């Protein structure tokens, strides 16, 4: 799936209870783990020792976890609890029957607690048959570049020339926010009976569509 060097392999099962006990989680999170997760495997570790790339910025290691899920639909609260518990970036490989999807958080180091992370947003792939799922992970001159390239591969928009990752993240957030407004406007237009109001809503809709186009091209 990733064609990684053998020395990156960890292959250690992590008890589900370890996550919610360390986070002192409530009943809701415990029940989510029990209902939705079969097992968690710490599959690979990307570090200076395993792939011979230097740490950079806040990125000293990148972990790859396999999460065997009991259903296709799952709660992001589970991923967020794992990401908060482990301060390193984690590529989650979600496996359900013979399908797989990838998910990774864009997260920042918690300045008040170096053993915790602040999760800002998740990026993920579509579900695919395991036989057709692959991703090139080791791409970049250091571990920060590797992490950023994994995130970029999962984003729905592509970075523009010389654009920093945090700028692409902000731009995608803007696009997604406007997309929500567009869907609301389209629903209003569909249900509106008065012609003049419909025209006014259409004018607003066209402005939003142009704004999305501008952000996608970053004009």
**Using CA atoms, how far apart are residues 141 and 144, in angstroms rounded to an integer?**
8
pTM of the model: 0.84
pLDDT digits (tens, 9 = 90+) for 158-216: 777 778 888 898 898 899 999 999 999 999 999 999 999 999 999 999 999 999 888 88
Specify the pLDDT at position 204: 94
Min mean pLDDT across 7-16, 27-36, 87-96 is at 27-36
Name the 3-class secondary structure at 122. strand
Q: Does residue 150 sit in helix, strand or coil?
A: helix
Planar angle of CA 173, 177, 181, nearest 5 degrees: 165
Contact predicate 53/141, CB 8 Å = yes
Q: Cα–Cα distances in Å, from 105 out to 11, 91, 123, 169, 218?
A: 22, 8, 6, 11, 24
Tell me how many degrees the CA angle 19-35-109 measures, rounded to the nearest 5.
30
pLDDT in tens, 110-134: 777 776 778 889 999 999 999 999 8
H or E, element range at 43: strand 37-46
Could you report the per-residue pLDDT of 77-88, keeping only the tens digit for each?
A: 899 888 888 889
User: Of 21, 63, 23, 19, nearest to 39 (Cα)?
Assistant: 19
């Amino acid at each position: 799936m990733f064609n990684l060097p053998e020395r990156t392999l960890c292959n250690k099962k992590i008890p589900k209870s370890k996550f919610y006990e360390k986070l002192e989680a409530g009943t809701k999170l415990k029940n989510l783990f029990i209902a939705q997760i079969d097992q968690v495997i710490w599959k690979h570790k990307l570090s200076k020792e395993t792939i011979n790339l230097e740490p950079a910025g806040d990125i000293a290691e990148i972990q790859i976890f396999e999460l065997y899920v009991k259903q296709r639909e799952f709660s992001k609260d589970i991923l967020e609890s794992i990401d908060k518990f482990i301060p390193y970036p984690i590529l989650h490989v979600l496996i359900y029957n013979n399908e797989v999807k990838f998910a990774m958080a864009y997260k920042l180091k918690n300045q008040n607690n170096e053993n915790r992370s602040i999760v800002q947003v998740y990026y993920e792939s579509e579900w695919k048959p395991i036989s057709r799922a692959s991703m090139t992970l080791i791409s970049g001159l250091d571990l920060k570049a590797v992490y950023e390239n994994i995130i970029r591969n999962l984003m729905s928009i592509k970075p523009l020339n010389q654009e920093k990752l945090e700028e692409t993240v902000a731009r995608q957030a803007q696009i997604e926010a406007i997309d929500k407004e567009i869907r609301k406007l389209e629903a209003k237009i569909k249900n509106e009976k008065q012609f003049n109001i419909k025209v006014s809503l259409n004018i607003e809709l066209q402005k939003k569509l142009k704004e999305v186009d501008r952000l996608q091209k970053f004009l």
